[in-house]
Amino acid sequence: MSTSEPTRPIGSEGIPSTQRAAVLHAARDVRIESRPVPTPAADEVLVRVTAVGVCGSDVHFYHDGRLGDWRVDEPLVLGHESGGVIVAVGADVDPGRIGERVSIEPQHPSHTSPETLRGEYNLDPEMQFYAVPGTDGAFQEHVTIQSHFAFAIPDTVSDDAAALMEPLSVAIATARKAAIQPGSRVLIAGAGPIGIVSAQVARAFGATEVIVSDLAEARRASALTFGATRVIDPAHDDVSSLDGTVDAFIDASGAAPAVKSGIRAVRPGGRVVLVGMGIDEMPLPITHIQNNELIITGVFRYANTWPAAIALVADGRVDLDRMVTGRFGLDRVTDALDSTSDPATIKSIVTPNS
């Protein structure tokens, strides 16, 4: 990912010069190709990828060839939820890290942008991010990443969990924005992967009531096994009937009706955090927001979350392994992407080196 001049990596002996990669050329056009194994720059490590989670953004790119303002105009390797083993390091990285199992934070911000200097590096407009046009992701056998974004994981943390630290980090960033604390009452719209992991994080942060709404019965049932204390079918139950009794509302659905009803469920002075990818614009109850001084914000990725994510998993307070509902080799990447349409799917994992 680095734009600095590559140097000869330490430990590269025995590493093949080429690798397999699943490359998206256009909507629903994924091809398994041979590509050079990337060379880590001086401050980077080369990681042999052991697991990659399938994210909703990958699915959008696969189905539509675009996501928001991003378009796939040239071949792109998808996948940004990843982990693996360091097999070589750049000249400025401790060779002792070779062999280390890591979880990858898939970002490369500018060192000097105002956003980075404020500690909000996730908002850097020049960010290079895995699987966003211009930067290849992890549906390939090896990737490079700056060494400080390759986080060592304990032996008790699985390869799958190492990859899923990424969506867990989204949930941690969300919980921080929602100001969840012991005794909080939280409403979450959407019981997909982000809604499920957000429910776990809410409980880990001390929430005593976590209410999850979703149209799919299978997803509601899953939520109850991952920390939800109550589930709601919004097709039959009026979420806004909670009528200002929850401390925070997290939208992980992107659905306009869920956002509007969720806002009305929040107590005066409470918080609304928008995480789900939905339509670009929607009407909101502005007078209600003003009169109740609601704090509304969005979440765009994360910053400074990986240490907390690893600690929550290592301590058993968040269960990522149980979220995995399917595993696919690199040759079956399209099956992995299509699997997300099944309501019984929580997280599909791609194993590039299996």
Report DSSP state, residue 75.
-
| Secondary structure (3-state) at 109 | coil
In contact, 87 and 47? CB cutoff 8 Å: yes
Strand partners, 19: 35
- Residue 1 has a pLDDT of 54
- Residue 204 has a pLDDT of 98
* CATH of range 18-164+320-351; options 3.30.720.110, 3.90.180.10, 2.30.300.10, 3.30.365.10: 3.90.180.10
Q: What is the token pair recorded at 59?
A: 């699915």
In whole angstroms, give the CA distance from residue 33 to residue 96. 32
- Residue 7 has a pLDDT of 54
* Listed residue (208, 211, 209, 200) closest to 182, CA to CA: 208
| Secondary structure (3-state) at 81 | strand
pLDDT per residue of the chain (354 residues) written in tens, 0 to 9: 554 544 567 777 789 999 999 999 999 999 999 999 999 999 999 999 999 999 999 999 999 999 988 999 999 999 999 999 999 999 999 999 999 999 999 999 999 999 999 999 999 999 999 999 999 999 999 999 999 999 999 999 999 999 999 999 999 999 999 999 999 999 999 999 999 999 999 999 999 999 999 999 999 999 999 999 999 999 999 887 898 999 999 999 999 999 999 999 999 999 999 999 888 899 999 999 999 999 999 999 999 999 999 999 999 999 999 999 999 999 999 999 999 999 999 999 999 998
CATH class, range 169-298: alpha beta
The three-state DSSP-derived secondary structure of 118-176 is: CCCHHHCCCCEECCECCECCCCECEEEEEHHHEEECCCCCCHHHHHCHHHHHHHHHHHH
- What would the DSSP string read from start to end of 266-310? EEEEEEEEE-S---S-----HHHHHHTT-EEEE--S-SS-HHHHH
Q: First CA to last CA across the chain, in angstroms?
A: 24
* Listed residue (229, 272, 268) closest to 253, CA to CA: 272
Q: What is the token pair recorded at 7?
A: 């140097």
Q: What is the token pair recorded at 191?
A: 């019981």
| Ranges of CATH 3.40.50.720 domains, the chain | 169-298
The three-state DSSP-derived secondary structure of 10-47 is: ECCCCCCCEEEEEEEEECCEEEEEEEECCCCECCEEEE
| Ranges of CATH 3.90.180.10 domains, the chain | 18-164+320-351
In whole angstroms, give the CA distance from residue 88 to residue 9. 6
